[in-house]
Amino acid sequence: VKYLNAYTGVVLLRCRKDACGLLCSALPFVRQLESRNQRYPCVLNTLHIGGTIRTCQKFLIQYNRRQMLLLLQNCTNEEDRQCIQKSLLSCSLTEEPSQSGDEEDDDGTE
């Protein structure tokens, strides 16, 4: 697990390229997750398959932006509308300098 957001329910998983098909076929069968002796029901769906973590991050930004636009269309008051518009404007992917010198390969072999 490279990224987990409990609020949006998005999980970013990383696996080897040759294991991608096996992982995608196994995800629908996961019905619950266990943590600290507590079980949590869940449903896992594949939203995107990417070659690098960066392309997956870009997809997640666009996905979240589309979800916020849907929320914006269903707003009932102006305060909620302004809050969502502010969130939409703050969606961006900024590059941070690498601290350890490790860079992600763009050839999709990770």
Q: What is the pLDDT of residues 37-75, one digit of tens each?
A: 888 888 888 889 998 889 998 998 888 888 878 888 888
Residue 22: pLDDT over 90: yes
Backbone angles phi, psi at 45, to 5 degrees: -125, 145
pTM of the model: 0.62
CA dist., res. 51 & res. 105, Å (int): 9
Q: What is the pLDDT of residues 66-82, one digit of tens each?
A: 887 888 888 888 888 88
> What angle separates helix 78-89 from helix 53-73, to the nearest 10 degrees?
160
CA dist., res. 52 & res. 107, Å (int): 8
Can you give the pLDDT at residue 29? 93
Q: Are 44 and 30 in contact (CB under 8 A)?
A: yes
Say which range, 12-16, 24-28, 39-43, 64-68, has the weakest mean pLDDT: 64-68
Q: How far is the CA of 12 from the CAs of 22, 48, 108, in angstroms?
A: 16, 10, 15
Tokens of 40: 């949590």
CA dihedral of 7, 10, 14, 18, whole degrees rounded to 10:
160
CA dist., res. 60 & res. 10, Å (int): 9
Once rounded to an integer, what is the mean pLDDT over residues 16-35? 90
Once rounded to an integer, what is the mean pLDDT over residues 80-108? 62
- Average pLDDT value over all residues in the chain: 79
